[in-house]
Amino acid sequence: MRRTALFLCATLLLAAAGCDTPAAAPPASGASDTSVPVDPTAAWPEGRAFEATSVTESGAERPLVAGTRLTVRFRAPGELEAHAGCNYLGVRGHLEGARLVADSMLSTAIGCASELLAQDRWVVDFFNAGPTWQVRGDELTLRTPTTEIVLAATR
């Protein structure tokens, strides 16, 4: 029963309030909600999904936990969902130029092996670092000063 409830939370991650666990602190009190609208000149790839084909950190390959994959799905402008093998992460943010700045994050709270939880934390930290993003055809590149993730479109 608990697994079913957690699956439903994951499925409805960005649509359902109350099913989520904060993954990062919300904006400071008094801060305006800048998650919508996103810069209208940006081509937000709403409805597109991508899967990582390479991950490098500090110039070296960063392997994912065996049997997992990193996926990113773009929702409404300023919203995306990431999954790296355990919990689902919802990111709500705004654009500053080509940078995606996370204003808030939501996460399911599925208990997983420690290496999967560490990988989830790494994904949260990556999106908290405000990665730049660029879509060229069927390829998405997310980049911070130390990490680059190249993803291929899945649909």
Domains of the chain: 2-153 (2.40.128.270)
103-129 per-position pLDDT tens digit: 999 999 888 999 999 999 999 999 999
The helix (run of H) or strand (run of E) holding residue 116 is: helix 114-128
Q: What is the pLDDT of residue 32?
A: 37
C-beta separation of 132 from 99 below 8 A = yes
Would you say the C-alpha torsion 83, 84, 85, 89 has a positive or negative sign? negative
Enumerate residues 6+ apart whose C-beta is below 8 A from 100: 80, 91, 93, 94, 127, 130, 131, 132, 133
Report CA Rg, the chain: 15
Tokens of 123: 């994904």
35-79 per-position pLDDT tens digit: 333 334 457 899 999 999 999 999 999 999 999 999 999 999 999
Closest to 122 in 3D by CA, of 76, 99, 89, 94: 89
Q: Which residues on adjacent β-strands are paired with residue 61?
A: 56
Tokens of 75: 């929702």
User: Can you tell me the mean pLDDT for 80-87?
Assistant: 94
pTM: 0.73
